[in-house]
Structures are given as structure tokens and as C-alpha cells.
């Protein structure tokens, strides 16, 4: 179960109160490289790195946004990956073999591979809303760079620059930058986690009670255009000042 380190109140789900350096040590405590990092309480906390089982934290980030900003809207979601992988690099260190059986180590590799699965899940959630979700992730060259290969930073940078020169990636970065600058509200935070569908905006210049009654009689048919009864439906009504809309 991942634990969020926060700098703001979060009610009953607050994590440990600690310094920034302790947070960094806790989040980087990969079991193949480091021992679990302990933070004094009360209660006393022990952490391993969140990259195993939570290598892509975006789902948890969106859940946090939904909880903290319940009456706001999402304008842009930008997800930056750390590179596609063929095989999860979990180093078989002596310490890891002493405490974990081979089956558990294999399970760790499988769990860690959820990165792109989460990315695809979030992409499906926002698939019906244009220019809200952007995913950038180097697709080639980083498969052999394990978590312990810190000395290969130049290789990582070279593959990243090559990825950024791709036409479709350059276009996606421009679109993401434009979406961030304009900050056009698109999805209410209360609808995070649903597959959100925005219907075509319906403009109704309603001036008389008779016209309003006619529009109301048509509303159920338009609402049925949503793919699921649980999906939100967005309708916008315009009326002249003083009209009872």
C-alpha cells in the first residue's frame, strides 16, 4: 500500500511527519539496492521504494487531486515516463536473496511492470476529452539501463534527445505546452476515475415558457446518448436575461 508524503493536512490518512531528506531516502529505498528506510514516529515507519508496485503513481496522484480539490476542474495531465522496458531490472544482490525467495523476486518484477498499464488506463479515462492527457516516455534505448546503472546518465540523455526529435513527440510536447498555458478547464475533479464523455454543446436560446417546455421534453433523449448511465453528461444552456432557465 503506497504512502503519500504530504506538506499539507490530509485528515486521517496523513503519512509520517519528516524532513525532505527522509522523504527522499524512503522513496528511493529500492529493496535490490538498499535496506528499508526507517522514520521515527510515533508510530515508527519502515519504507521500501514505491517503484515496486507503484512505478507509475499517476492513479494515486489523481485520487489525491479528487480528494483535496473536490470542487475544481482538471485542465491538463502530463505524465513523464522513465523509458519503456523489456525486462524489469531487479538486481539479485546478496542482501535481497537472503530475505526474499526467488518467487517473491519474480513477483516484484511482474508488479513493477505496471508502469505502462497505468498509463494506458489513464489514457482510456480521458480518451473522449481532447488535449487533456499527455504521456511522454522514451520508447527505445533504455531497456538495458537498470536502476543501479547511474553511470550511464550520458546514454540516457542521448536516447532522450533522440526521442524528443521525433515529429509526433515534438507535436505532443507543443500541444501539452499550449494546454498548460491556456489552462482551459475540461473535467470536474469529482469525475476523476470515470471514463468522461463530453457531449456536443447544446445551445438553446430560450425566450418563452413554451420553448423551455419543449426543450425539457427533449432533454431525456439527449441524455441517453451517453454510453453508460454512470457517465457524466455535460449540457450548457444559454438564455436571455430574466428568462427562467
Name which of 53, 1, 50, 42 is nearest 24 in CA terms: 50
Rounded Cα distance between 55 and 114, Å, is 7
**First-to-last CA distance in the chain?**
48
Poorest-pLDDT segment among 111-120, 125-134, 173-182? 111-120
Name which of 156, 17, 149, 15 is nearest 91 in CA terms: 149
Question: Scanning the structure block, which residue is given the C-alpha cell 476515475?
Answer: 193
pLDDT at residue 165 in the model: 92
pLDDT at 208 over 80: no
- Mean pLDDT across 122-147: 81
Q: How confident is the model at residue 245 (pLDDT cuts 50, 70, 90)?
A: very low
pLDDT at residue 82 in the model: 76
Domain coordinates in residue numbering, the chain = 1-50, 71-191, 205-239
Tally of CB atoms within 10 A around 48: 19
pLDDT at 27 over 80: yes
Cell of 203: 445551445
Q: How confident is the model at residue 238 (pLDDT cuts 50, 70, 90)?
A: very low
pLDDT at 40 over 60: yes
- Mean pLDDT across 102-114: 57
Phi, psi of 175 (to 5 degrees): -65, -40
Q: How confident is the model at residue 142 (pLDDT cuts 50, 70, 90)?
A: low
Q: How confident is the model at residue 182 (pLDDT cuts 50, 70, 90)?
A: very high
Query: To the nearest whole number, what is the mean pLDDT of the chain?
Result: 73
- Mean pLDDT across 211-220: 53
Number of residues that this document lists for the chain: 245
pLDDT at residue 193 in the model: 77
The reported pTM is 0.65
- Mean pLDDT across 45-67: 83
pLDDT at residue 243 in the model: 45
- The strand pair at 205-206 and 238-239 is best described as parallel
Cell of 141: 534505448
Rounded Cα distance between 79 and 188, Å, is 19
Poorest-pLDDT segment among 112-116, 139-143, 208-212, 223-227? 223-227
- Mean pLDDT across 158-175: 92
- The strand pair at 45-47 and 133-136 is best described as unpaired
Render the chain in DSSP notation, one character per residue. Answer: ------SS--GGG------HHHHHHHHT--TTTSPPEEE--SSPEEE--TTTT-SSTHHHHHHHHHHHSTT-EE--EEEE-----SS------HHHHHHS-HHHHHHHHHHHTTHHHHHHHHHHHTTTSTTSEEEE---SS-TT--TT-GGGHHHHHHHHHHHHTSHHHHHHHHHHHHHHHH----EEGGGTTS---PPPPPP-EE-SHHHHHHHHHHHHHHHTTSSSTTS------EE-TT---
Task: Report pLDDT digits (tens) over 75-105.
Answer: 999 999 877 765 344 555 555 555 555 655 5
Amino acid at each position: 500500500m503506497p504512502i503519500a508524503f504530504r506538506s499539507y493536512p490530509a485528515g486521517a490518512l496523513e503519512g509520517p511527519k519528516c524532513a525532505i531528506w527522509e522523504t527522499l531516502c524512503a522513496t528511493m529505498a529500492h529493496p535490490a539496492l538498499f535496506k528499508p528506510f526507517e522514520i521515527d514516529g510515533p508510530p515508527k515507519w519502515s519504507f521500501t521504494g514505491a517503484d515496486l508496485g507503484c512505478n507509475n503513481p499517476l492513479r494515486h496522484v489523481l485520487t489525491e487531486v479528487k480528494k483535496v480539490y473536490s470542487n475544481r476542474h482538471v485542465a491538463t495531465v502530463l505524465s513523464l515516463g522513465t523509458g519503456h522496458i523489456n525486462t524489469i531490472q531487479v538486481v539479485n544482490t546478496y542482501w535481497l536473496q537472503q530475505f526474499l525467495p526467488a518467487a517473491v523476486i519474480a513477483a516484484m518484477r511482474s508488479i513493477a511492470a505496471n508502469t505502462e498499464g497505468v498509463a494506458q488506463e489513464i489514457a482510456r479515462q480521458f480518451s473522449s476529452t481532447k488535449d487533456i492527457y499527455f504521456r511522454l516516455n522514451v520508447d527505445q534505448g533504455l531497456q538495458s539501463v537498470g536502476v543501479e546503472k547511474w553511470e550511464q546518465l550520458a546514454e540516457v540523455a542521448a536516447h532522450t534527445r533522440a526521442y524528443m526529435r521525433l515529429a509526433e513527440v515534438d507535436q505532443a510536447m507543443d500541444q501539452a505546452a499550449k494546454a498548460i498555458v491556456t489552462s482551459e478547464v475540461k473535467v470536474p475533479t469529482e469525475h476523476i476515475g470515470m471514463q468522461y464523455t463530453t457531449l456536443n454543446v447544446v445551445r438553446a436560446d430560450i425566450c418563452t415558457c413554451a420553448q423551455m417546455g419543449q426543450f425539457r421534453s427533449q432533454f431525456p433523449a439527449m441524455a441517453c446518448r451517453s454510453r453508460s448511465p454512470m457517465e457524466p453528461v455535460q449540457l450548457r444552456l444559454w438564455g436571455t436575461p430574466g428568462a427562467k432557465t
